[in-house]
Structure 1
Amino acid sequence: MGHFFFFYSFLCVVLLISECFCSSFEHHLCSPTEASALLQFKQHFEIISYPNSLCPIHFPRTKSWNESRDCCIWNGVTCDMLTGRVIALDLSCSQLWGSIHPNSSLFQLHHLHTLNLAYNNFNYSSIPHNIGQLTNLRHLNLSESGFDGQIPTEISYLSNLVSLDLSGYELQLDERTFETMLHNFTNLELLSLSQVNITSPIPMNMSSSLRYVDLGFTNLRGVVPESLFLLPNLENLKLGVNLLLKGVLPKIPLSNTLLELDISLTGISGSIPDSIGTLSSLNILNLELCQLSGSIPDSIGNLTQITELILSTNHFTGHIPSTISKLKHLTRLDLSSNSLSGEIPNVFSNLQELRYLHLYDNRFIGSFPSTILNLTHLESLALSTNSLSGPLPANKASILQKLTQLDLSDNSLNGTIPSWVFNLPLASSLWLHNNQFSGLPDEIKTNPTLEYLYLSNNQLSGSLHQSLANLTNLSTLDLSTNNITGDAGTNITFPRLQVLQLSCCELKDFPYFLRNVKTLEVLDMSKNKIRGQIPNWFSSMRWDSLEFLNLSHNSLTGHLPQFHYHSLEYLDLKFNSLQGPLPSSICNMSSLNILDLSRNNFSNSIPSCLGNMASLTVLDLRRNNFTGSLPSLCAQSTLLRTIVLNGNRFEGTVPMSLLKCDGLQVLDVGNNAINDTFPAWLGTLQELQVLILKSNKFHGPISTRKKFYFPRLRIFDLSQNEFSGSLPAEVFRNFKAMIKLDDREEGEIKYMSQYLNGHSIYEDSVRLVIKGQYMDLERISTIMTVIDLSNNHFEGVIPKTLKDLSSLWLLNLSHNNLKGDIPMELGQLNMLDALDLSWNRLTGKIPQELTE
């Protein structure tokens, strides 16, 4: 009976408490004013679902807010349970879309301690100045939310902040606000301004409470204050991707609380001090792409808790320290792109957690370090671009069960490639090119994971190895620059092959196995010894996905067949002996971007439809036997960038349709029979850099009453024509690209190229007379400037305005009727490498200034 009474009494107490809580909720703990403010805030936004990989889950918290429920139990809202005031608002990943009004009701929540609006879309609006009214804030997170413009100065009023995250691409922070913030935020522990455009030095006065600092990708400049490295509580310091940030690593011991140090892609220089070894708690050290030099100190072995050690792309010299064997927790070791030398030491046996080992692009010598093959968790191994020699170990890699990428290219490894290389169960990519491998294993097991195999530039010989057919998932196979002579039979199918590169081999016929390959996108069989006509079976293949076909530098004969590759973007047949007319079916290739049929024996006129190909950017038909008038190119398309028709038998005039070629950079119609006056109207093409009209029947003066433009012209060759009249000074005065070349000042010589899918696949070339000799320049540098007016009937004096062409490299005015003195002003052409004024009627003395 007593037990029952106790239970009954307890139940009554529970019910009373429950009633009290129910009563509280009916009367709403939340302040009506603040509830109203939250509802007003909600009404200014739409809920729009959009992908954001940074959000673990998308949850539109405001969607369920309504007046009937206490705002203290609304999603994302937290109240003080004593006062009912809203103290925290977490709307991160809530799919909000819209702008925060400058007078938003949000700023009426004066008791907020925490505000998190991260990972929404505030539609490139500014952070309102009234943010400064929330002076009780301790935690503010506005990261990756589509804010734009200047971070307001008023944010520095939030002096109670413990954490601040404003990371995102579109925001800017001026230097004064940056300094004021860090001066006022004396309690700040977390500061993340990643990707904010700051463009100022790092202030000296930073809170000693800071534990986490992320200023990566902010355009910081100046010198990193040493005090930043020495903050007593610092755990994470991220300064990466600030190329203008300078400084050195302090030699005095850094804070041993540091867990992560990332100064990658900065201008920080000097050496790694021995004191680095005091960071006994460090997990991540990322010094990639700095300006560091010297040797890697032995004290690096004291970082016994480190998991990622990234020292790539610096100027480190010396050997890999043996103490690295102590770093038993390493998962990533990247020492690539330095000047480390000696043999790769056998220090990897202890590094059983290693997943990524990158030692490529150094000066290592000796044999392949066999202890690497015992790393059971290894996923990526790159030892390329060294001087490793000798054979690979055989039958020792059965333990490499997790390796997905193996790069041993650009070494001097030799012998037969062991079978374990191809039989790695998870490997998707093998780079073995640029070695001295002489053979493949007799048996390659079926490997469903291998997709990319690069074996180019080795010493493989004979037929295409039959065992490669077991690689049934292969999508890329590169066997170029070997001594491969042909097929291994008809059983090879490669059901998923997309890229096949067989250039620079010893092929004499089209490989028969291509009949079995249905999925090709790229096929390169250039620079072989293939003779005879293109087989009917090859031209009739239905490769609906084929985008790139290169059969150049062979000995192909006969007529060009009717190809059916309607997705083709690149067709290169140069340096063959193909003949006959050009089939009109070539115009059915509606995606064709680059067409190079140069150095063949094609004849007849060009199909008129060629001028209607909308996607064409490069047309190279040089050194054939084409006849008739120049085609009306750019009649429908304005994308043509390069037109080379040199060395044919074209007649007539230059077609006015070229005016539609807005992006034309190279026009070469030299060595034909074109009979026309100077096409001064070409000067309106703003991108034209190379104009070659040499060896035709052009006649008359080149001066014109219309304004003479050619603003970017750098190579101007009118030689071996019948031009006459004087050389008007105003012509040369308009060659602005010859007055100053910005590319020369960059220190790196660039070349005129055409790109396809990010790769340079066509380089502009030209034939010039240089110092009396014909020279074929296979590449045109962007600093080359040439004027060749030789072998014409020009008369009068040499214009003094030539002196303004300060970047001029070659000037040839020979074989004309020029008279008078040689202007001493030509001595100001400091970049001139060749000057030819011979065979004229010049008088007087050779100016002393030319000797300079």
Structure 2
Amino acid sequence: MGIGKLAFFLLCAFLCQLVFSSSLPHLCPNDQALALLQFKNTFTINLDASYSGYYPKTAKWNKSTDCCSWDGVKCDEMTGQVIQLDLSRSQLRGEFHSNSSLFKLSNLKRLDLSENDFSGSLISPKFGELSNLTHLDLSYSTFTGIIPAEISRLSKLHVLSIESDPYELRFKPHNFELLLKNLTRLRVLHLSSVNISSTIPLKFSSYLTNLGLSDTQIYGILPKGVFHLSNLESLDLSDNPQLTVRFPTTKWNSSASLTKLYLSGVNATGTIPESFGHLTSLHRLRIASCNLSGSIPKSLWNLTNIEVLDLGYNHLEGPISDFFRFGKIRSLSLRNNNFNGQLEFLSFNRWTQLGLLDCSVNSVTGPIPSNVSGMQNLYSLFLSSNLLNGTIPSWIFSLHSIGILDLSDNHLSGNIQEFYSESLYRVSLKQNQLQGPIPKSLLDLQGLQFLLLSRNNLSGQIASTICNLTKLLVLDLGSNNLEGTIPLCLGEMSGLWILDLSNNSLNRTINTTFSRGNQLIVIKFDGNKLEGKVPQSLINCTYLEVVDLGNNELSDTFPKWLGALPYLQILILRSNKFYGPIKDSRTDNLFAQIRVIDLSSNGFSGDLPARRFENFEAMKMIDESSGIREYVGNIYSYYYTNSLTVTTKGLDLELPRVLTTDMLIDLSRNRFEGHIPSIIGDLIGLRTLNLSDNRLEGIIPASLHQLSVLESLDLSSNKISGEIPQQLASLKSLEVLNLSHNHLVGCIPKGKQFDTFENSSYQGNDGLRGLPLSKDCGGNEGVPQATTPFGKDQEEEEGYSTMISWQAVLMGYGCGFVIGLSIIYIMLSTQYPTWFSRMDIKLEHKILMRMKRHKKRH
């Protein structure tokens, strides 16, 4: 047989064998099948994780079929050994054991266990024994703890992805550096939200195409070599504020291949360099919150392939119209910068792909262009907090694709037209000059979740069809000219969290019945013309944090039952017609979480409710250790801010947001009587205490000195007697003090904040002496005793006897004055010591001042 025939025969035999072998089923070795079944039986199927793309891949694994045919399993065609296992999104739940049977699959090359629920299991060091692995993905499967150093032994790895929820996973010191040193073949490295807490090593795998280290607490200066990795396609180092990034000023080695660059939230202070113009392959660029300043370099307009551009939260400036050059843009965010000019670039018919446009919080002026077309894919439009004026053009209302519309905080006028989009779920037009009725089409949008139209000039009534918005979470119609009654059905909207109808002209009684199981957190009906009683059904609003019914015409006794709401933190009933006593109770544990209670300008009477104060548990703490600013009732603070008008530091102030530390008690302008309870001194978190314009008597309790963070104390216009407790001088935070128009006596405390208060803090207290008053407070005289306070009627009735008593006093003063002058003459003539002279001069001055004050009063 010739060589050619032999070769032909062998080739045919090989091809026949290959065809024959490929037609046979792959026989999975028994040990491999057993290992897989044991692994499967370790977990349950998480039925709660039935999202799109998630399904239980192991559900149909069984002994009767070849394991190489199982879902997610791939075997070597020649040996039958399992070489790939893809169980991502397989709804697995349970503990991942350190000695799992999975580690018997020693020939594995690709292993993907991402997006399961391994219930806080540790990553086993035995992963390091799977030495043939080229791909390993353990991301978002609830692993916790330390990433074992043994992972660094997987020297064949091309892809390593161990992303997690923030800081559930971490490296030991130097292990991250060891990882990069050993894994020299890496092409993809994703460790987002893993706590690395170290600097980035100088050297990376030269094969690297994708590097994702966002939110890993890396710090220091980013090595320049990262920008010169010649194969780099995607770089994500965002949300590492302690990482300093210095952009190359010349062409980057990676400029030809780089398509995604995410550096938001790093320290890249300075301007955008001209070198960015070389990144012509770039599709996505995010450099928000980087402290960048200056204008946009002309070279940036060379990035004609840009689809996603985020320059938000910087200090960039220049005309916003220049951005018309990005014809392929799908998402453009310029939020929170200093861009100016007008939006005429929207008139160019080249925005067919644009899905998101965010120019909020800039200095954009003029009207929104009316001749805009071609935005059939626009889903999110943010133009809030600018200087826009004119009417809202009809093309915005005609967008069928629009889902989010935010034009708030501008100077827009005219009517709100009817909407055509059925995709709308968030509409914010608040703080403009819009007028007319609420459009009917808004009330028919079944998917609407956020409707914010406050601070406009809208008129008409609130139609009951608004209750058809079954998915509504935030309804803010405050500060308009709406009238009529509050729709009864609002209380039946079980999903509503925020209900703000404040500062309108709504009238009559609140007949709304709030159903059980509702989710309301904030109810603001203040600033209307509402009458009658507080609806008892509010007790069904279990999650309420804020109730503001102030500035109405409500007439009721104190609704103490509101105190049973377990999360209630703010209760405002000011400026109504509430009346009667507030009964004491220490046993019912009401108002335990209250932080702001304002009952001012009503007709409440009787003693101050001392035992109610004892229930104010939240006010008995000062919690500022965390340093995190927390707000009351702002569950959707990005969309809605819970503003509040309070009287503090002598002024009516509107707090745009209420901090959990803004603790206030205002019971002023009522008819309370009796003593100030000393128990108030236990409310050490108080910042404002206002008990002015009542009929309180007795003394100022010394326990108030325990209110170490108190900033405003107003006890004016009462009948309080006695001295100002010296202990109050220890109040370092006290900025405003008003004790005027009482019957206080004695010396004004000295030192610290008391040295800053003016006469107005003490006027109308004839028995007070010392700075800042002109009456001297000597140390040798006895302190006048507190006199029984008189009412105005009593003073008039006893005016005659008072006059007689003062005549006797004047006679005494006259005699004393003559004697005093005689003593002075003798002293001067006999050369008495000068210190004695000074003492007598002071005495003479006091006598004269008292005589002048008497003449002024009578």
**TM-aligned CA deviation for residue 598 of structure 1:** 3.0
Q: Distance in 2 between matches of 1:828 and 1:202?
A: 51
Aligned mate of 2:709, from 727, 737, 740: 737
**TM-aligned CA deviation for residue 379 of structure 1:** 3.6
Q: Distance in 2 between matches of 1:592 and 1:93?
A: 35
**TM-aligned CA deviation for residue 301 of structure 1:** 3.0
User: Aligned with 1:64: secondary structure?
Assistant: coil
Give the structure 2 partner of residue 330 of structure 1. Answer: 329
**TM-aligned CA deviation for residue 120 of structure 1:** 2.1
Aligned mate of 1:690, from 664, 675, 694: 664
Listed one character per residue, the Cα deviations across residues 17-39 of structure 1 (whole Å, up to 9, x for unaligned) are 5998599979x563x55555444
User: Aligned with 1:715: secondary structure?
Assistant: strand
**TM-aligned CA deviation for residue 195 of structure 1:** 1.7
Give the structure 2 partner of residue 545 of structure 1. Answer: 493
TM-score by length of 1: 0.69
User: Aligned with 2:579: secondary structure?
Assistant: strand
Verify the 8 A CA contact 2:332 2:356 in the aligned structure 1.
no
1:459 and 1:75, CA in 2 relative to 1: closer, same or farther beyond 3 A?
Answer: closer
Give the structure 2 partner of residue 651 of structure 1. Answer: 605
Give the structure 2 partner of residue 189 of structure 1. Answer: 187
Q: Distance in 1 between matches of 2:69 and 2:489?
A: 68
Aligned mate of 2:341, from 331, 351, 364: 364
Q: Letter of the 2:376 partner, please give it.
A: Q
Q: Distance in 2 between matches of 1:337 and 1:326?
A: 21
Give the structure 2 partner of residue 479 of structure 1. Answer: none
Q: Distance in 2 between matches of 1:517 and 1:196?
A: 46
Verify the 8 A CA contact 1:473 1:497 in the aligned structure 2.
no
Q: Distance in 1 between matches of 2:533 and 2:718?
A: 34
Give the structure 2 partner of residue 140 of structure 1. Answer: 136
**TM-aligned CA deviation for residue 237 of structure 1:** 0.8
1:835 and 1:239, CA in 2 relative to 1: closer, same or farther beyond 3 A?
Answer: farther
Give the structure 2 partner of residue 242 of structure 1. Answer: 240
Which runs of structure 2 are paired with 1:123-134 in the superposition (5 Å)? 123-134=119-130
Q: Distance in 2 between matches of 1:528 and 1:517?
A: 17
Q: Distance in 2 between matches of 1:830 and 1:309?
A: 56
User: Aligned with 2:344: secondary structure?
Assistant: coil
User: Aligned with 1:277: secondary structure?
Assistant: helix
**TM-aligned CA deviation for residue 209 of structure 1:** 2.5
Which runs of structure 2 are paired with 1:324-723 in the superposition (5 Å)? 327-340=326-339, 363-365=340-342, 368-369=344-345, 371-383=347-359, 396-397=371-372, 399-407=374-382, 418-428=393-403, 430-431=405-406, 439=414, 464=437, 473-474=444-445, 501=453, 505=457, 507=459, 511=461, 514=463, 519=468, 522=475, 524=477, 526=479, 528=481, 544-545=492-493, 553=503, 560=509, 562-564=511-513, 566=515, 569=520, 572-575=524-527, 582=533, 590=541, 593=544, 594-603=546-555, 605-606=557-558, 618-630=570-582, 638=592, 640-653=594-607, 654=609, 656=611, 659-660=614-615, 662-663=617-618, 689-692=663-666, 699=674, 709-717=682-690, 722=696
Q: Letter of the 2:493 partner, please give it.
A: S
1:167 aligns with 2:118: no
The percent of aligned pairs where both chains have the same amino acid is 32
Listed one character per residue, the Cα deviations across residues 562-611 of structure 1 (whole Å, up to 9, x for unaligned) are 445656956655445665x5276665765694544434444463567656
1:399 and 1:731, CA in 2 relative to 1: closer, same or farther beyond 3 A?
Answer: closer
User: Aligned with 2:243: secondary structure?
Assistant: strand
1:83 and 1:50, CA in 2 relative to 1: closer, same or farther beyond 3 A?
Answer: same
Instruction: Report which of the two structures shows the higher radius of gyration computed on alpha carbons.
Output: 2
1:286 and 1:622, CA in 2 relative to 1: closer, same or farther beyond 3 A?
Answer: closer
Aligned length: 708
Listed one character per residue, the Cα deviations across residues 194-230 of structure 1 (whole Å, up to 9, x for unaligned) are 1212232222232223221100122222222222222
Q: Distance in 1 between matches of 2:111 and 2:249?
A: 40
Q: Letter of the 1:331 partner, please give it.
A: R
1:126 and 1:832, CA in 2 relative to 1: closer, same or farther beyond 3 A?
Answer: farther
User: Aligned with 1:228: secondary structure?
Assistant: helix
1:523 and 1:138, CA in 2 relative to 1: closer, same or farther beyond 3 A?
Answer: closer
Q: Distance in 1 between matches of 2:662 and 2:369?
A: 56
TM-score by length of 2: 0.69
Q: Distance in 2 between matches of 1:71 and 1:45?
A: 18
Give the structure 2 partner of residue 98 of structure 1. Answer: 94
1:432 and 1:647, CA in 2 relative to 1: closer, same or farther beyond 3 A?
Answer: closer
Give the structure 2 partner of residue 809 of structure 1. Answer: 735
Verify the 8 A CA contact 1:242 1:265 in the aligned structure 2.
yes
1:175 and 1:128, CA in 2 relative to 1: closer, same or farther beyond 3 A?
Answer: same
User: Aligned with 1:337: secondary structure?
Assistant: coil
1:37 and 1:398, CA in 2 relative to 1: closer, same or farther beyond 3 A?
Answer: closer
Give the structure 1 partner of residue 782 of structure 2. Answer: none
Listed one character per residue, the Cα deviations across residues 629-666 of structure 1 (whole Å, up to 9, x for unaligned) are 21578667756554322233333341635655544699
Q: Distance in 2 between matches of 1:436 and 1:22?
A: 73
Listed one character per residue, the Cα deviations across residues 279-335 of structure 1 (whole Å, up to 9, x for unaligned) are 23222221122111222222223334433232222112234696x666554333333
Verify the 8 A CA contact 2:748 2:771 in the aligned structure 1.
yes
Give the structure 1 partner of residue 311 of structure 2. Answer: 311
1:56 aligns with 2:30: no
**TM-aligned CA deviation for residue 693 of structure 1:** 5.4
Give the structure 2 partner of residue 118 of structure 1. Answer: 114
Q: Distance in 2 between matches of 1:629 and 1:189?
A: 75
Q: Distance in 1 between matches of 2:36 and 2:215?
A: 35
Verify the 8 A CA contact 1:142 1:167 in the aligned structure 2.
yes
- Structure with the higher fraction of residues in helix conformation: 2
Listed one character per residue, the Cα deviations across residues 609-635 of structure 1 (whole Å, up to 9, x for unaligned) are 656667765433323333322157866
Q: Distance in 1 between matches of 2:445 and 2:225?
A: 54
1:139 and 1:820, CA in 2 relative to 1: closer, same or farther beyond 3 A?
Answer: same
Verify the 8 A CA contact 2:156 2:183 in the aligned structure 1.
yes
User: Aligned with 1:61: secondary structure?
Assistant: coil
1:214 aligns with 2:162: no
Verify the 8 A CA contact 1:807 1:832 in the aligned structure 2.
no
Give the structure 1 partner of residue 834 of structure 2. Answer: none
1:118 and 1:551, CA in 2 relative to 1: closer, same or farther beyond 3 A?
Answer: closer
Give the structure 2 partner of residue 278 of structure 1. Answer: 278
1:785 and 1:138, CA in 2 relative to 1: closer, same or farther beyond 3 A?
Answer: farther
Q: Distance in 1 between matches of 2:388 and 2:362?
A: 10
1:149 aligns with 2:121: no
User: Aligned with 1:691: secondary structure?
Assistant: strand
Q: Letter of the 2:58 partner, please give it.
A: R
1:59 and 1:321, CA in 2 relative to 1: closer, same or farther beyond 3 A?
Answer: same
**TM-aligned CA deviation for residue 188 of structure 1:** 1.8
Listed one character per residue, the Cα deviations across residues 94-119 of structure 1 (whole Å, up to 9, x for unaligned) are 33322232233333444433332222
Q: Is there any run of 5+ residues in structure 2 with no aligned partner, and where?
A: 1-8, 622-643, 648-659, 774-858
Verify the 8 A CA contact 1:474 1:497 in the aligned structure 2.
no
Verify the 8 A CA contact 2:324 2:348 in the aligned structure 1.
no
RMSD: 4.9
Q: Distance in 2 between matches of 1:470 and 1:209?
A: 56
Q: Is there any run of 5+ residues in structure 1 with no aligned partner, and where?
A: 1-8, 341-362, 477-495, 672-685, 739-783, 848-852
Give the structure 2 partner of residue 228 of structure 1. Answer: 226
